[in-house]
Chains A and B, each alone.
Chain A
Amino acid sequence: MSGFASNASLVFRQTRYQLKFFTRVPIALFFTLLLPIVMLVLFNALFGDNFVCGDDACTPGNRWPVSQFYTGGLAAYTAVSATFTNLANMVPLRRDEGVLKRWRGTPLPTWTYIAGFVLSAVVIAMVGVMLMLTMGVVLYDLSIDWAKMPAAVVTFIVGVASFAALGMALASLVKSASSASAAANAVILPLAFISDVFVVSDQKNSFLNSVGNFFPLKPFVNAFQACFSPIVDGSAFNPGSLAFVAAWGLVGLIIAVKKFRWEPSGSAPRGRRSRAAAAEASG
Chain B
Amino acid sequence: MAAVDVTDLHKHYGSNHAVDGVSFHVDQGEVYALLGENGAGKSTTVEILEGHREPSSGAVSVLGVDPAKADRQFRDRIGIVLQSSGVETEFTVREVIDLYSSAYSNPRSLDEVVGLTGLDEKVDERVGSLSGGQKRRVDLALGIVGRPKMLFLDEPTTGFDPSARRKSWDLIEALIADGTTVLLTTHYLDEAEHLADRVGVLMQGRMVAEGSPAELINRLSGTIMSFDVPDSISLDAAAATFAEVLGVEVSMSGRLVEVRVDQPTVAVHRLTGWAIEQSVELEGLSVRRASLEDVFLELIGEYGVGSGS
A residues lining the B interface (CB < 8 Å): 1-5, 9-10, 13-14, 17, 20-21, 24-25, 94, 97-99, 101-109, 263-264, 270-274, 276-277, 279-281, 283
**Residues from chain B with Cβ under 8 Å of A276 in the complex:** 38, 43, 83
Offer 25 A-B interface pairs, CB within 8 angstroms, sorted by A. Answer: A4-B76, A9-B102, A17-B91, A17-B95, A17-B99, A20-B95, A25-B90, A97-B85, A98-B84, A99-B87, A101-B82, A102-B86, A102-B87, A103-B103, A105-B52, A105-B80, A106-B100, A271-B83, A271-B84, A272-B83, A272-B155, A273-B82, A274-B84, A276-B43, A280-B43
B173 at the interface (CB under 8 A from A): no
Chain B: minimal CB distance from A100 (Å) = 8
Asked, given contacts A105-B80, A107-B72, whether A280 binds B95 with beta carbons under 8 Å apart, the answer is no
| Whole-angstrom CA separation of A264 from B84 in the bound complex | 10
Question: Which residue in chain B gives the minimum CB-CB distance to A17?
Answer: B99
**Residues from chain B with Cβ under 8 Å of A105 in the complex:** 50-52, 75, 78, 80, 82
A-B contact sample (10 more), CB < 8 A, given A3-B105, A102-B87 = A13-B102, A17-B99, A94-B88, A98-B82, A99-B86, A102-B80, A102-B86, A105-B75, A108-B102, A280-B39
Question: Which residue in chain A gives the minimum CB-CB distance to B41?
Answer: A280
| Whole-angstrom CA separation of A3 from B50 in the bound complex | 22
Chain A: minimal CB distance from B32 (Å) = 19
| Whole-angstrom CA separation of A283 from B203 in the bound complex | 12
B83 pairs with A24, CB closer than 8 A: no
What band does the interface of chain B fall in when counting residues whose beta carbon is under 8 Å from A?
Answer: 35 or more
B18 at the interface (CB under 8 A from A): yes
B146 at the interface (CB under 8 A from A): yes
Partner of B91, one of A20, A263, A280: A20
A104 pairs with B88, CB closer than 8 A: no
For the complex of A and B, 6 pairs with smallest distance between CB atoms: A98-B86, A271-B84, A283-B39, A108-B103, A3-B105, A273-B84
A280 pairs with B72, CB closer than 8 A: no
Chain A: minimal CB distance from B171 (Å) = 19
The B87-109 residues at the A interface (CB cut-off 8 A) are 87-91, 95, 99-100, 102-106
